[in-house]
Amino acid sequence: GYYYYENDDYYYDYDYDKAYSERDNPCSKYYYRSSRFVSRNILASDMGIIAKSGTDNDFIVVVSDLKTTQPLQGVHIKFYNFQNQLIATAVTDNNGFVKMKLAHKPFFIAAENGTQRGYLRVDDGSSLSLSNFDVKGQVVQKGIKGFIYGERGVWRPGDSLYIMFILEDPEKLLPKDHPVVFELYNANRQLVNRKVKTHGINGFYNFATATDQDAPTGNWQVKIKVGGATFKKQLKVETIKPNRLKINLDFGRNNIILQNQKDIGKLSVKWLSGAKAGNLRANVTVTMEPMKTFFKNYSSFIFDNPACNFSAKEITVFDGKIDKDGNANILFNNHNDNCAAGMLKAHFITRVFEQGGDFSIDRFSIPYSPYKSYVGIRVPKGNEYKMLLTDTNHIIDIVTVDENGKPISVKGLTVRVYKLEWRWWWSSSNTDLASYVNSNYYQPVIIKKVNTNTHGRGKVSLRIDYPEWGRYLIWVENPNSGHITGTTVYFDWPWEGGRNNRKNPEGATMLVFNADKEKYQVGENINISFPSSEGGKALISIESGSKIIDVFRIKTQKNETSLSLMATKEMTPNIFVHITLIQPYQTTANDLPIRLYGVIPVLVEDKETKLQPIINMPKVLVPGKKVTINVKEQKMVNL
């Protein structure tokens, strides 16, 4: 359309019918509407800005010269909120750092260096994605930690409840005598008790309360509120009667061997006085749950299927009367068609009912083998960064054993390799992997057949060629028993291969590195190495669950850079090492992005904080008599 004036009158000429009919005609002016174009402001600057903060609103801003990776001194940093109001200002030091505590979280940061400007949004949605890295764990709320426990696991209506709360405030964020609020909710989610305490003993707060005689049974809940954080714990309130019958169910061995094979258990019931309990009704149920499959001589092999989604269900194996002597034979023949990753744990619950209707209950568990034979897999450890290189043949070890762990020969094992979507949780969630493998859309990239010899050993060679890379699921199926095992591995190009032509932008900026151990003691050196090129800088950030412990820069070396950190008490129980690698803008050593980043968890343990209490008390307690209980620490320190 267009505008024009005629005799001081204003006109707007727009042909709506033509605009609609020619809206998809590129030869028409009506085709070129604003909705067809993507526009964005482009700001050219030599400043690289990195901002970090913890839950305590302590901000660290790092400014570097992208041409040389050198720190920029004297850069003016301004913090703005969402309403574009200035809330704080600072100037970078000779290391290019600004460290300051803010009263409120900013929305964006503006950097000024002479005529150059740089802007960085610091809201949660604009932070770098960490989905490629292992950063799972408990989130520290408001910089404080809390733990709730009771004197037992189950309470009855009318019982007293002695609930303890442990508060840890290592940064002394809470003022003295800060209130701790206790709330107790019944099974109907109704508030039944509320208490407030301002004094504790060494961080321990005792909340004593009680339930009514007619209190509803079920799952109750305790909430502790302190310093803006809320901690919760579920409590069991049930009507419990003591057993009057002694129940024993024995299958005559330590484990049930095979699925679809009949096992007979001996059920014996007596009164607690020792007399026979005959002609009583008994009910026996069993529930299966997964357990780790382990064989003593093959501890380095994996025998569980990571793509198995097992759902447990309760099965009744006996419901009838025991004989006059209190005995019965229990025939166990499990026909569970659910997918089992490997060995299962069978949980038996036996209920024996008295003539009056009351019953006694007994529980016990034993391992159960749903397969006649098992297949195990062992993959190479990879290079120093725990990855397997592309364009290289890698040998995968395979072993086959029977249910007792004895090696057997199996012919026609099927090996399948699937390429997984690039997300950390793909390698953590059994449900997602099960859907992935069973989908018709995702097909294996490699299929091979392999046999194991009389010693149960076999090998298969796998190779992923450039330009492919990423996480892969290696899946091995035993045709004789139907058992499947598998594991996820990471294939990547050598460092000098570059990553700019990768389809996933997150993968292109990912830095893979590792520490020399998974767990360290306080005082030990944490040795970390990562691939690099010469002439760059690496920003090392040591972070806990709530704050940034330390930040510093180091120069990068050719091919690989190493650094060593001293494990301190402040790093317990774990830290995250975050490395941001910055390369000079005009580097020609590789085609990697200017910035790469990666995160790894590191466990740190302080032996001095581990208590090993020793309890001395009589083995038999006599009702109505006083008992003396002595508690001391193994290190001869009084508790």
- 94, 126, 158 — which closes off a domain? 126
Q: Which domain holds residue 213?
A: 145-237
Lookup: tokens for 17: 């019918």
354 and 397 share a domain?
Answer: no
- pLDDT for position 273: 86
Q: Which of 513, 507, 468, 499 is nearest to 590 (CA)?
A: 499
φ/ψ (deg, to 5) at 192? -110, -15
271 and 353 share a domain?
Answer: yes
Residue 341 lies in a domain: yes
Residue 615 lies in a domain: no
567 and 590 share a domain?
Answer: yes
380 and 479 share a domain?
Answer: yes
C-alpha distances in Å from residue 357, one per residue of 168, 268, 274, 281: 49, 19, 21, 10
Residue 504 lies in a domain: no
Rounded CA gap, 366 and 570, in Å? 42
Other residues' Cβ atoms within 10 Å of the Cβ of residue 116? 14
- pLDDT for position 236: 92
- pLDDT for position 441: 46
CATH of the domain at 60: 2.60.40.1120
Other residues' Cβ atoms within 10 Å of the Cβ of residue 561? 21
**Which amino acid belongs to residue 384?**
E
First to last CA, the chain: 87
Residue 475 lies in a domain: yes
Rg (CA), the chain: 33
Tokens 């008994």 map to which residue?
Answer: 282
**Bridge partners, 630 (sequence order):** 616
Ramachandran bin of 203, using left for φ above 0, alpha for ψ from -120 to 50, beta for the remaining angles:
left
DSSP 3-state assignment of 516?
Answer: coil
- pLDDT for position 261: 59
Task: Spell out, as residue ranges, where the chain has pLDDT lower than 70.
Answer: 1-16, 253-263, 334-338, 384-385, 421-442, 495-508, 588-589, 636-639
CATH of the domain at 179: 2.60.40.1930
User: How many distinct structural domains can be found in the chain?
Assistant: 6
Q: 32 Cβ partners below 8 Å, 6+ apart?
A: none
CATH of the domain at 325: 2.60.40.1940
Residue 442 lies in a domain: yes
- pLDDT for position 55: 76
Query: Which DSSP helix (H) or strand (E) runs through 16?
Result: helix 16-21
Query: Which DSSP helix (H) or strand (E) runs through 432?
Result: helix 430-438
Rounded CA gap, 365 and 32, in Å? 72
Rounded CA gap, 79 and 109, in Å? 5
Q: 130 Cβ partners below 8 Å, 6+ apart?
A: 599
Do 389 and 422 contact (CB within 8 A), yes or no? no
482 and 388 share a domain?
Answer: yes
- pLDDT for position 424: 43
272 and 360 share a domain?
Answer: yes
Other residues' Cβ atoms within 10 Å of the Cβ of residue 299? 7
Other residues' Cβ atoms within 10 Å of the Cβ of residue 514? 20
Do 353 and 363 contact (CB within 8 A), yes or no? no
Do 377 and 476 contact (CB within 8 A), yes or no? yes
Residue 630 lies in a domain: no
78 and 163 share a domain?
Answer: no
Helical spans, DSSP H, in 293-385: none
Lookup: tokens for 498: 């570059």
249 and 362 share a domain?
Answer: yes
**Bridge partners, 65 (sequence order):** 47
DSSP 3-state assignment of 126?
Answer: helix
In sign, the C-alpha dihedral spanning 271, 277, 280, 286 is positive
- pLDDT for position 209: 94
**Which amino acid belongs to residue 53?**
S
Tokens 């083995």 map to which residue?
Answer: 619
Residue 231 lies in a domain: yes
385 and 488 share a domain?
Answer: yes
- 237, 265, 284 — which closes off a domain? 237
385 and 357 share a domain?
Answer: no
Do 572 and 605 contact (CB within 8 A), yes or no? yes
Do 450 and 415 contact (CB within 8 A), yes or no? yes
Query: CA angle, corner 553, sides to 549 and 556, nearest 5?
Result: 135
**Bridge partners, 482 (sequence order):** none
255 and 344 share a domain?
Answer: yes
Q: What is the DSSP letter of 570?
A: G
523 and 488 share a domain?
Answer: no
Residue 637 lies in a domain: no
